[in-house]
Amino acid sequence: MPYALCFLLFIIGLYCAVVKKNMVKIVIGIMVMEYSVNLFLVMLGFRTGGTAPIIGRDDIVTGGTLTELFINSSVDPLPQALVLTAIVISLGSLALMISICIRTYEKYGTFDITRIRRLKG
């Protein structure tokens, strides 16, 4: 069920990005899509009752029952690292999209895409 809700959130963002005529609403729709993908990736690595991976402990590396217990109960850190990277990239793309919106508003005086297409200049 939570995966379906991530998909629903993505569809809502896609609707905003495709149907809306205001540039700011389109940017918000794109960001909602990015956040839904990030949420999906975090949920893939989630494990009920899981613990964070411990780095630098020698008894886990040597093997035995503690290693097996740790492997069976730890949360996968790879999706978390991917999401952190995706957040940084999405902040950069958000800054670029907002700056394009601001420059377009300075030139044409509107955020409406249909009015911008009709204007010459």
How many domains does the chain contain in total? 1
What percentage of the chain has pLDDT greater than the value 90? 54
What count of other Cβ atoms lies within 10 Å of the Cβ of residue 90?
Answer: 18
Q: Domain residues for 59?
A: 2-118
The pLDDT tens digits of the residues spanning 78-117 come to 888 899 999 999 999 999 999 999 999 999 989 999 898 8
Check which CATH number belongs to the domain holding 67 and give it. 1.10.287.3510
The pLDDT tens digits of the residues spanning 32-81 come to 999 999 999 988 877 676 666 665 555 555 555 666 666 666 677 788 88
Model pTM score: 0.78
Burial 15-53 (b: 16+ CB within 10 A, else e): ebbeeeeebeebbbbbbbbbbbbbbbbeeebeeeeeeee
